[in-house]
Amino acid sequence: MRTRLKYFLNGLSLLLAVIGGLFFFIGGLVIHALGKVDRFLAELMGIAVAFVCLIGCGIAKHMIDDIEWKEANEEATVPAGKAEG
């Protein structure tokens, strides 16, 4: 289960990184053309979407590290009932 979650989060973080990069570079132009929004406001919206994607990418990477840490510590610890006897 954790392995699937790690792969899902890894794919999600890569997807968010690509979306964030695209919105950072061409998001303002696309929002301006499709939404009939002022160019300056569209550029700010593109940067905001890129920033939100960056935050999501960071959270996903942190969750992957947390899952890997838990897996490593489960292998290293011995259950309380098994330690004696």
User: How many domains does the structure of the chain reveal?
Assistant: 1
- Exposure string for 15-41, b = 16+ CB within 10 A, e = fewer: ebbebbeebbeebbeebbeeeeeeeee
Q: Is residue 58 part of a domain?
A: yes
In the prediction, which pLDDT does 84 show? Answer: 53
Q: Is residue 76 part of a domain?
A: no
Beta strands in the chain (DSSP E): none
Q: What is the pLDDT of residues 14-57, one digit of tens each?
A: 999 999 999 999 988 988 999 889 999 999 999 999 999 999 99
Q: Is residue 83 part of a domain?
A: no
Q: Is residue 84 part of a domain?
A: no
Q: What is the pLDDT of residues 50-69, one digit of tens each?
A: 999 999 999 999 999 998 89
Q: Is residue 62 part of a domain?
A: yes
Q: Is residue 78 part of a domain?
A: no
- The parent domain of residue 55 ranges over 2-68
CA 16 to chain centre: 6
Please state, in angstroms and as integers, the Cα–Cα distance from residue 83 to each residue in 21, 33, 63, 74, following that order.
51, 67, 30, 14
